[in-house]
Amino acid sequence: MAKEFNTSVTCNPKRHYMVDVTAKMKVFEGLINKAKYFTINRARQFGKSSALNWILWNMSDRYLVIPASFEKSSAEDWMSTDRFCKFVCKKIAEVLIKTPDYQEFWQNIKQTEILDFDILSTKITEFCKLTKRKVVLTIDEVDQSLDNELFIKFLSMLRNMYLDREKLQDDTYTFWSVILAGVYDVKNLKIKIRPEEDHKYNSPWNVAADYRLDMAFNPQEISTMLADYENDYHFGFDIKEISEEIFKYTSGYPVLVSAVCKEIDENLDKDWSKDGVQKAVKLFIKDPNASILKNITRNVETYPDLKKLLRAITLDNFKVSYYADNLPIDLARTFSFIRPNENSQAQIHNLIFQQVLLEYFISDNQLAALTPDTSSKIFIDKNGDLNMPLIINRFQDLIRQKRNKEDEFLEREGRFMFICFLKPIINGTGFYYSEPENDDGSRMDLVITYNRKEYIIELKIWHGTEYEISGRDQLAEYLTTRNLSEGYLVTFSFLKNKVVQAKPEWIEHEGKRIYEAVI
């Protein structure tokens, strides 16, 4: 059976093309070898279940690995202590079907009286002393249980047994290692618990070991999946170049990497080129069934403060520490909507998320109706390229019509208005994203790809002639890094009764042609 790129369920190396994550998984292997309890907290479709499967597939020769998932099968199982304890025994027995003796142990417990967690803990000790191998318990999808008091007590029981194990110096007293996987950090339950119960529990999992591991894929790791694919089909594409291009748009977010590859393989005639990657990104963003993208808008609408934060980062170049201790930042980290830049400031995690958020904020904003006053076709030249000077000129005309009554609003939203104006012109054909440049948020670069050409537009706020010249220097330098000879500098000026520039014009600066407009 031919393998495929997978974006829906847990990956299986026999059926799916997968990134080689052996180096990353060695971190988890090391923690298990040291008898650590820990959590794998990552956003949805970020490789949590695949990591647990790697542990099962690669460490079962040394440990008895019990992969459990405590999804609520019925409400009755979660309504009383004795029913819940029997439910736990049932779940463990279900995954030990290949080891009949161990399965029978748990089945027998399930049929007897287990009135409380003290009895269950005693049975766990009996089991761990019975087995010839050290026992590793993994629990997936813990998010679905974090609002249940019985599950919290179960975790507290495991924590207390861990502490007793260390005190008694008896490695067979309880599970050798316990691993919880979910979106939310068990140490921060107040995100999941109802507001009136914010401080009801102390952390039931403060024994969890800390570790550092970026589970996003880097280009070299992405190339291992593409090499596997190329070995099957022999298309002869440049694996390194395409891996870097996929990383450019996804920042290594696992499901996004697979989604882009899946679009190319199944819907774009296996166009393994940079242009094919961009087409795949656009197709995926438009996919109404992409659960990871629907999850973005769902969470943004659920948490108003998160929405404000993401809008400020996306559109206003808002600067905030990625490690700031507040709820909106914590949520944005939890959902992997943001990642740290080189200055440890929060930025949108990847260009796909940025594009989705831009589209959402445009449609959600009163500026959604801001469209060119004529057919978008006039902005496309005979070669199919964008006539960027005409776009800028028409946008300037539109702003001049509006500014008398809306000066304060335009100053605050000018750059966003330009994106709104641009969107219907390139919609369906081009791709755009922003790259904030200055720490003070005073400038941002808008990068547009259209008809296989790239356009760089620097958007600035007017702060005087000297600052304008520095903007030209910065744009010229950036154009050099992109191997481009032309760029566009759009400056928003809201000085009363003062014309900074009569009309847009081409200038030569540092060997580059720059179309400069002050709006």
Q: Is 65 helix (H, G, I), strand (E, B) or coil?
A: strand
Q: What is the mean pLDDT of the chain?
A: 87
pLDDT category, 196, cuts 50, 70, 90?
very low
Residue-range domain boundaries for the chain: 22-197, 219-287, 366-519
- Enumerate the β-bridge partners of residue 516: 489, 505
Q: Supply the DSSP symbol for 335.
A: T
Q: How far apart are CA 177 and CA 154, in angstroms?
A: 15
Cα separation of 389 and 226, whole Å?
40
Question: For the chain, how many residues are written?
Answer: 519
Q: CB 198: neighbour CB atoms within 10 A?
A: 11
pTM score above 0.85: yes
pLDDT on residue 499: 58
Report how far residue 311's alpha carbon sits from residue 360's, in angstroms, rounded to the nearest whole number: 10
For residue 407, what pLDDT band results from cuts at 50, 70 and 90?
Answer: low
Greatest alpha-carbon pair distance for the chain in Å reads 88
Query: What string of H, E and C letters represents the secondary structure of 35-48?
Result: CCCEEEECCCCCCH
Find out whether 31 and 1 touch, Cβ atoms under 8 Å.
no
Cβ-based neighbour number of residue 67 at 10 Å: 17
Three-state secondary structure call for residue 288: coil
Name the percent of the chain lying above pLDDT 90.
59
pLDDT at 191: 41
Which amino acid belongs to residue 62?
Answer: R
Q: What is the reported pLDDT for 350?
A: 96
The rounded distance, in Å, linking the Cα atoms of 353 and 350 is 5
Q: Tell me what pLDDT residue 288 has.
A: 86
CB 38 within 8 A of CB 208: yes
Q: Is the pLDDT of residue 364 over 80?
A: no
pLDDT band at 447; cut points 50, 70, 90: very high
CATH level 3 topology of 22-197: Rossmann fold (3.40.50)
Q: State the average pLDDT over residues 401-405.
A: 63
Which single residue is written with the structure tokens 């005073």? 442
Residues 54 and 48: their CA atoms lie apart, in Å, by: 10
How large is the angle between the packed helices 48-59 and 22-33, nearest 10 degrees? Answer: 70
Q: Of 91-100, 467-476, 497-506, which gets the smallest average pLDDT?
A: 497-506
Q: What is the pLDDT of residue 69?
A: 86
Is pLDDT at 195 greater than 70 in this prediction? no
Q: Per residue in 61-80, pLDDT tens?
A: 999 999 998 876 677 888 89
Structural tokens at position 139: 């629990």
Quick check: 206 and 193 in contact, CB under 8 A? no
Strand partners, 453: 450
pLDDT of residue 310: 96
The answer to which of 166-175, 222-231, 396-405, 498-507 has the lowest mean pLDDT is 396-405
- Residue identified by tokens 């440990």 is 63
Q: pLDDT digit string (tens) for 95-141?
A: 998 888 788 888 887 667 777 999 999 999 999 999 989 999 999 98
Given pLDDT bands bounded at 50, 70 and 90, which one contains residue 500? low
Beta pairing partners, 434: 446
With a CB cutoff of 8 Å and minimum separation 6, the contacts of 349 are: 251, 253, 336, 337, 338, 339
Please give the Cα distance from 486 to 506 (Å, whole number). Answer: 10
Interatomic CA distance for residues 291 and 365, integer angstroms: 23
Tokens (6 digits) for 1: 């059976």
3-state secondary structure of 186: helix
- Contact 41/54 with Cβ under 8 angstroms? no
Residue 18: pLDDT over 80: yes
Whole-number Å distance between alpha carbons of 299 and 99: 42
> Higher-confidence residue: 426 or 271?
271
For residues 447 and 371, what is the distance between their CA atoms, to the nearest angstrom?
20
Instruction: Count the neighbouring beta carbons within 10 Å of the beta carbon of residue 107.
Output: 16
What is the C-alpha to C-alpha distance for residues 437 and 443, in angstroms, rounded to an integer? 6
β-pairing, 486-492 vs 63-69, is unpaired
**What pLDDT was estimated at residue 110?**
67
Per-residue pLDDT at 192: 45
Q: What is the DSSP letter of 76?
A: G
247, 351 contact by CB (below 8 A): no
Residue 75 CB coordination number (10 Å): 8
User: Measured between alpha carbons, how far is 431 from 412 in angstroms, rounded to an integer?
Assistant: 24
Compute the distance between CA of residue 327 and CA of residue 64 in angstroms, rounded to an integer.
Answer: 39
| Cα distances (Å, whole numbers) of residue 27 to 24, 32, 211, 255, 404 | 6, 9, 8, 21, 60
CB 242: neighbour CB atoms within 10 A?
23
pLDDT at 197: 47
Model confidence pLDDT, tens digit, residues 245-262:
999 999 999 999 999 999
Phi and psi, residue 212, nearest 5°:
-115, 125
From CA 503, how far away is CA 519, in angstroms rounded? 9
